[in-house]
């Protein structure tokens, strides 16, 4: 049974979550009006309707809402994957990457729609990206006016408490469309998807706490299996890379192994039980070739492992 302290902690977490949601909802009405203004500035159509908005602006806003509503059909874990193709559709490009901010300097790739969108790599020091960092830190859309090949053509940030939480990067946009009008359009899109992305990121963070096996940093079999299937489905659709490393446990307990392994994997990787008690590591954004590095690292700790690309 749940003890009183644990129950109280869960209640406090729920209160905090509700307060955060209320603050976001309180801002929503103002944001929608601002979005309407920005869509109008984008000049989609000059014919005014009875509400003072252009027909193109009304249709544009309806279109954006319609596409973004597609995200509602996904589970929380899936949203961060399928946000990338949704954004690609909205920005009319094949090349979109979603980076999750780890701290004030680094962000890690979560999903991408093409190899071009992955060109910066799995981990970036975004604070060192001159121009991009300054714009995002100030809450602005980044526009690559100089066409620097080492930077995306456009980028936007998703924020919570004025801190960057997610970075959205776009390539493959025609040069003539890299302008303030497109930036206004991206502002609209980013604002409308921000709640879904922030909620998904918070839930992914709490996912570990709520599904760890007692006294360990190992996910239980049900939660871990569902997570692995989500990653593998996204991988099959070209949205991410991932590899499973099954640790050969021998006679050791999974909790003992996990405590030694934890410091040798990334924050974005997951350990969990699957297949009736076997210990796995889900290596996110890691293909089987790069997973060999992890396999060698585990061997240096005294653990053999088997790399797998599927559940079969």
State residue 196's pLDDT score: 84
Residues with Cβ within 8 Å of residue 93, at least 6 apart in sequence: 170, 171, 172, 173
Contact 218, 258 (CB under 8 A): yes
C-alpha span between 245 and 256 (Å, rounded): 17
pLDDT tens for 62-82 read: 656 666 667 777 877 788 899
C-alpha span between 245 and 292 (Å, rounded): 10
| Confidence category of residue 96, pLDDT binned at 50, 70, 90 | very high
Contact 135, 142 (CB under 8 A): yes
- For the record, the structure tokens of 14 come out as 């729920």
- Looking at residues 289-306, what average pLDDT do you find? 93
- Looking at residues 227-245, what average pLDDT do you find? 93
Residues with Cβ within 8 Å of residue 51, at least 6 apart in sequence: 58
pLDDT tens for 22-56 read: 555 455 555 555 655 655 555 444 343 433 333 33
**Domains of the chain, earliest start first:** 13-209 (3.30.450.40), 212-308 (3.30.70.270)
Which phi-psi region, left, alpha or beta, contains residue 271 (left: φ > 0; alpha: ψ -120 to 50)?
A: beta
**DSSP secondary structure of 239-250:** S--EEEEEE--T
C-alpha span between 187 and 141 (Å, rounded): 7
Contact 97, 117 (CB under 8 A): yes
> Which residues are registered as beta bridge partners of 171?
95
- The candidate with the shortest Cα–Cα distance to 185, out of 64, 85, 66, 86, is 64
Q: Is 227 exposed, middle or buried (0-12, 13-18, 19+ CB in 10 A)?
A: buried
C-alpha span between 156 and 136 (Å, rounded): 6
Q: Checking DSSP bridges between strand 95-101 and strand 163-171, what pairing results, if any?
A: antiparallel
pTM tops 0.85:
no
- For the record, the structure tokens of 265 come out as 């994997």
pLDDT tens for 111-158 read: 999 999 999 999 999 999 989 999 999 999 999 999 999 999 999 999
C-alpha span between 235 and 243 (Å, rounded): 10
C-alpha span between 101 and 170 (Å, rounded): 17
C-alpha span between 8 and 205 (Å, rounded): 19
φ, ψ of residue 282 to 5 degrees: the values are: -90, 110
């Amino acid at each position: 049974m749940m003890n009183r302290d644990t129950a109280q902690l869960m209640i406090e977490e729920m209160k905090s979550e509700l307060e955060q949601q209320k603050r976001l909802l309180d801002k929503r009405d103002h944001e929608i009006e601002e979005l309407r203004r920005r869509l109008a500035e984008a000049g989609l159509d000059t014919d005014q309707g009875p509400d003072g908005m252009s027909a193109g602006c009304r249709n544009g806003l309806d279109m954006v809402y319609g596409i973004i509503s597609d995200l509602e059909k996904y589970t929380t874990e899936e949203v961060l994957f399928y946000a990338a193709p949704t954004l690609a559709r909205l920005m009319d490009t094949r090349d979109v990457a979603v980076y999750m901010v780890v701290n004030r300097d680094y962000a890690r790739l979560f999903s991408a729609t093409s190899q071009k969108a992955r060109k910066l790599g799995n981990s970036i020091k975004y604070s060192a990206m001159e121009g991009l960092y300054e714009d995002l830190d100030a809450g602005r859309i980044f526009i690559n006016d100089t066409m620097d090949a080492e930077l995306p053509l456009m980028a936007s940030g998703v924020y919570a408490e004025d801190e960057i939480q997610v970075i959205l990067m776009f390539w493959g946009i025609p040069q003539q469309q890299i302008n303030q009008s497109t930036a206004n359009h991206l502002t609209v899109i980013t604002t409308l998807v921000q709640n879904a992305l922030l909620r998904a990121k918070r839930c992914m963070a709490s996912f570990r706490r709520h599904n760890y096996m007692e006294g360990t940093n190992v996910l239980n079999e049900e939660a871990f299996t569902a997570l692995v299937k989500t990653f593998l489905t996204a991988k099959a659709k070209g949205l991410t890379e991932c590899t499973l490393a099954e640790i050969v446990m021998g006679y050791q307990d999974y909790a003992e192994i996990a405590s030694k392994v934890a410091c040798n994997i990334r924050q974005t990787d997951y350990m969990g039980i699957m297949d009736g008690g076997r210990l796995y590591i889900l290596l996110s954004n890691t293909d089987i070739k790069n997973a060999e590095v992890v396999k060698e690292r585990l061997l240096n700790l005294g653990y053999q492992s088997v790399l797998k690309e599927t559940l079969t």
